[in-house]
Structure 1
Amino acid sequence: MTFHNPNLVGESLELKRDTSADPIDAAAAALVEIKAELADRLKGLETKADAADKLAERLAKLEAKANRPGALVQKADETDAELETKAFSSFLRTGRVDAADLETKALTLDSASGSVLAPKTVADGVIQKLIEFSPIRSIAQTMTMSGPLVEWMRLKEEVEPGTVTEIGPRPEDEPSFDSIDVKPFESAVIVPVSKTLLEDSAIDLVSFLSGHLAKKFGQREAKQFVLGRGNGMNEAEGVLVSSAVDTLDAAAVSLKADDLIDLFHAIPTPFSGRGHWLMNRQTMGAIRKLKNAQGDYLWQAALAAGQPPSILGRPVLEAPDMPNPTAGSTPIIFGDFATGYLIADRVGLEIKTDELTGWNNGIVKVLARRRVGGRVIEGDALVKLKLKAA
């Protein structure tokens, strides 16, 4: 026989007749079975109802958030990187960090300070801008530090093999090493921006950060990599002032073609074959007029757009912080910077916003900082030219 339950639409329970047992016992057993199955089905319906209530609650929260002024909503075709960049721009405008917000979850926070770090897309753009204003960064060895100090082991005395007979004793020669440390040093700036400009979206802060601030940080670190006095001055060590880099003294007070040829051959062949010339624009202008003994210009224009010019087959980079080619100056450095100089980045670009201290004047302050170190790690790979004093 079949029982229909009016509360379970489209569903029925079938009770099969057991002819081998007492009819009363069979009916009682069937009723117990029906009761158990009905209980299971009702439990399942309650579970589905709870899930539906939770889903409705979650959708209501998302809908409320989406309707909130300025809320960020990730589009179907929007990547996580694009959402993170959009969230970063929103943070700069509002200064708010709410762990429950979608936009905050898209941001990268510094665990130690709680500051917001620039997204990778922005940070990569900043590094690219730094390279434009810091030529040494484009040719030196770079690394990312995970701690406050990097120790670099350097071979001081090499092993010298000796000639031996078939069964004669083998000489012993032990190499010696010394270590140098590279520390990061901090650069920071506070940029006041009108709150009205931020609210009215009059400027693109992300473009501003990856443009103007990157330019200023790049110019500062470029100067340190050339003229920095090292750890004692809380800045990177400059190539030009490092005692680890040898100096070639010129015979005259002005640049001569022979000085450049001597400088090219002043370092070992492996280093000169990977070398770059570093000088400022005035020095470039003076070298463009120099000719060798055969009357050929030493300066060779770039073979393709976007490529640097060359001297003796090696590329020339412009460094505005290098000295002018005057008597007694050191206007040129040549060598393998990838071997000779190390740049260690500790903090790429860290951002905070301050809406309180400038409140009376309607100013929001954008606080930016970087930590980077640099040091000559192999002086033999580089050499500098010093002109004769007057």
Structure 2
Amino acid sequence: MSAVETKSAGDDILADLNRAFSAFKETNDERLTQLESRLGADVVTEEKLARIDHALDDTKSRLDRLALEMSRPRIGGKLVDDHSGREHKSAFNHYMRSGEASGLKALEAKALSRGSGPDGGYLVPLPTEREVLRRLAKFSPIRAISSVREISGASLRRAFSTTGPAAGWVAEADPRPQTNNQQLADMTFPAMELYAMPAATQALLDDAVVDIEQWIAEEVQTAFAEQEGAAFVSGDGVNKPKGFLAYATVADASWSWGNIGHVLTGAAGAFAATDPSDALVNLVYALRAGFRQNGKFVMGRRAQSLVRQFKTTTGDYIWSPPATADAGASLMNFPVVEAEDMPDPAANSLSIAFGDFERGYVVVDRVGIRVLRDPYSAKPYVLFYTTKRVGGGVQNFEAIKLLKFAAS
């Protein structure tokens, strides 16, 4: 599909999305009118609203997939413009197709690479690694909005100020009293091993037309993204990253460092019957202004389906569809990030997050993706044991707030 055709398709899908949301608003207004008449909402209206809501989600998914296609660069020559890069690409391609590893052995020995060889696998070329990480940023929503740090060791260790530096005002000739010491927290984010094992037939590998690097990137993207997405949200930190929902939470009025503050919806497993959107306003303003400027909502499809029905006192809907094909939906003028690993609304669930995730959550990538070719374990298929090391955790407990579906 050409760039012009892709743009045209994006415009068509965006138009479908806007038509679906217009129908959604009209049907929801009809439902609210029926509720206000005290006769109750008609079953047919409820079913129609549910169908349109499902159509909205499907159309938005189509738009997301098209945005990925529009931003997908070709792998190959343009990124590999130096001799060593071309040499690595050629040796890796030869290894993937035939199992001959002498070229890669020589290259990694020359680079003094540790952990390479038959036991640890071989590093993929840099363009392939970039493509895998780029795809992960599209498919793994938390990675896309968080701070990402590359490391060459086993973990990222950093000090973070929990109180900020002490300071004060003085006149030019006044003595400078000693200030209180800055309170620092020592935080460590280890990189854990994540793996995928795509399989191929020898016929596929023998086909010279097949781009092996592109095939590897496409095969591992979904497996890596699904595992990462779940871990960044709710991972327990044991052999995986620690998700922001796995940390201790407290009522925001009692917030302290090491905990994540939450506010209440006012009803168990639901929003309050009266002025339900007030909980979202409270959530937004629980965040300090410095973080709120880059704030984003993170929620799953079920939670988004609920907030899509809310209106302001002037009758305007607080959820808005994307303005352009490469944009996202917004809620109260803040971007909405749909993360399927967020829990559905239920009693005491933490189903909606709001925060500056770039400052609040860090993703740690150890440089290098390795592939080990295994032609023996699943004959006649060839397995490619592909590994990367990734970690993650909350780095600033002030920057993320949660909405708890509870009355108290």
TM-score normalised over the length of structure 2? 0.69
From 121, 129, 138, the equivalent of 2:135 is 129
- The C-alpha deviation readout for 1:357-380, integer Å capped at 9, x for no partner, is 44xx32322111111000101010
User: Do the aligned partners of 1:152 and 1:377 also contact (CA within 8 Å) in 2?
Assistant: no
Q: Secondary structure at the match of 2:245?
A: coil
- Residue number in structure 2 paired with 1:297: 317
Counterparts of 2:359 and 2:264, CA distance in 1:
23
SS class of match (2:246):
coil
Unaligned runs of 5+ in 1: 1-74
Deviations 1:122-142 (A, max 9, x none): 111111111122111111111
Q: Specify the alignment match of 1:211 in structure 2.
A: 218
Supply the distance in 2 between the matched residues of 1:368 and 1:157 (Cα, whole angstroms): 42
Instruction: State the shift of 1:159 in Å.
Output: 4.2
Map of 2:296 onto structure 1: 276
Matches within 5 A, 1:133-212: 133-161=139-167, 167=174, 170=177, 172-200=179-207, 204-212=211-219
1:108–1:118: 8 Å Cα contact kept in structure 2? no
Match of 2:136, as an amino acid?
L
Deviation of residue 260 (structure 1)?
A: 0.8
Equivalent residue, structure 1, for 2:115: 112
Q: Deviations over 1:330-371 (max 9, x none)?
A: 11111011111111111442101022444xx32322111111
Structure 1: distance between partners of 2:333 and 2:263:
20
Q: Is the 8 A contact 1:250 1:259 kept in 2?
A: yes
1:98 is matched with which residue?
102
Q: What amino acid is the match of 1:292?
A: T
Return the letter of the residue paired with 1:370.
Answer: K
CA offsets 1:292-333 (integer angstroms, 9 cap, x no match):
222221112222221111122211111010011233211111
CA contact (8 A) 1:130 1:214 kept: yes
CA-CA distance at 1:167 after TM superposition: 4.6
Q: What is the TM-score normalised by the length of structure 1?
A: 0.72
Structure 2 counterpart SS, 1:338: helix
Instruction: Give yes or no for contact 2:231–2:243 (8 Å, CA) kept in 1.
Output: yes
With over 3 angstroms needed to count, the CA separation of the structure-2 counterparts of 1:389 and 1:328, relative to structure 1, is farther
- Alignment partner of 1:239 is 2:244: yes
Residues 276 and 82 of structure 1, relative CA distance in 2, 3 Å threshold: farther
Q: Which moved more, 1:373-382 or 1:198-207?
A: 198-207
SS of 1:380's equivalent? Answer: coil
Q: In 2 relative to 1, CA 167–97 (structure 1 residues): closer, same or farther, beyond 3 Å?
A: closer
- Structure number with larger C-alpha Rg: 1
Deviation of residue 281 (structure 1)?
1.5
1:167–1:88 CA distance, 2 compared to 1 (3 A): closer
Q: Answer yes or no: is 1:249 the counterpart of 2:264.
A: yes
CA separation of 1:108/1:132 partners in 2, compared to 1, >3 Å: closer, same or farther?
farther
Q: Is the 8 A contact 1:278 1:316 kept in 2?
A: yes
Unpaired stretches in structure 2, ≥5 consecutive residues: 1-76, 249-258
2:356 equivalent among 313, 317, 336: 336
Query: 1:265 is aligned with what amino acid?
Result: Y
**Which deviates further from its counterpart, 168-177 or 366-375?**
168-177
Determine the structure 2 residue equivalent to 1:21.
Answer: none
The CA deviation at 1:164 is: 6.0
Return the alpha-carbon distance in structure 1 between the equivalents of residues 178 and 349 of structure 2. Answer: 47
| Segment of structure 1 superposing worse, 290-299 or 85-94 | 85-94
Residue type matched to 1:297 in 2?
A: Y
Matched to 2:261, the amino acid is: D
How far does residue 150 in structure 1 lie from its aligned partner after superposition? Answer: 1.8
2:391 equivalent in structure 1? 373
> Is the CA contact 1:161–1:171 (under 8 Å) kept in the aligned structure 2?
no
Distance in 2 of aligned mates of 1:142 and 1:336: 14
- Cα drift, residue 94 of structure 1: 0.8
Instruction: Indicate the residue corresponding to 1:44 in structure 2.
Output: none
CA drift of 1:189 comes to 2.9
Partner of 1:49: none
Aligned-residue Cα RMSD (Å) equals 2.9
AA in 2 matched with 1:349:
I
Deviation at 1:87, TM superposition (A): 3.9
